[in-house]
Amino acid sequence: MKRTFTLVLAAIAAAALFGALVHAVLVAANVSKPAAVTVYGLTPRRLWATAAAGLALAGVAIGGLALRRSADRIGTGNGRFGAIAAVAAGLIALVNGALNLAMARGGPGTGNGVVGAAAALVLGVIGMALGGMALGRFRRAI
């Protein structure tokens, strides 16, 4: 019971931190003001930002698994390939998120995909960090 409560509390704290980081990126990019007229539907920039955020989320997952595998030393692989993939996916998502934010002319609701781009930027940094930590563990083990 204690462990479940701790995990739920940690997940809520992580979600709040993620939301705060995304808002901080939007404020730093000067696109935090909502649009006067909201655009509905999937625009090309929203699709671009969503794809970048999905790639960043995959990088975080792969980086977490690579970090776990490099610590466990169980299984056929050692996690090095996963760590490199996480760093590459995080970097690609980070660059795409930053480019989308740099090209945006308005805030949330304009159809520019600024929220997805900010999420891709934050998740890209996290994925790169997890992959880098896994690579560091792999290099020390050799």
Domain ranges of the chain: 2-141
Specify whether the CB–CB gap between 137 and 70 falls below 8 A.
yes
CA angle 113, 119, 122 (to 5 degrees): 140
How much is the average pLDDT of 79-88? Answer: 88
- Spatial CB neighbours of 44, under 8 Å, sequence gap ≥ 6: none
Q: Express each pLDDT in 5-36 by its tens digit.
A: 888 888 899 889 888 888 888 888 888 787 77
Q: Is 36 exposed, middle or buried (0-12, 13-18, 19+ CB in 10 A)?
A: exposed
**pLDDT averaged over every residue in the chain:** 85
Neighbouring CB atoms inside 10 A of 141's CB total 12
Alpha carbons 27 and 18: distance in angstroms, whole number: 14
How much is the average pLDDT of 38-63? Answer: 91
Please check the confidence at residue 120 and state whether its pLDDT lies above 80.
yes
**Assessment of whether the complete model's pTM goes beyond 0.95:** no
CA angle 88, 122, 46 (to 5 degrees): 90
* 43 — pLDDT class (breaks 50, 70, 90): confident
User: Which pair of structure tokens corresponds to residue 31?
Assistant: 């696109």
Share of the chain above pLDDT 70, in %: 89
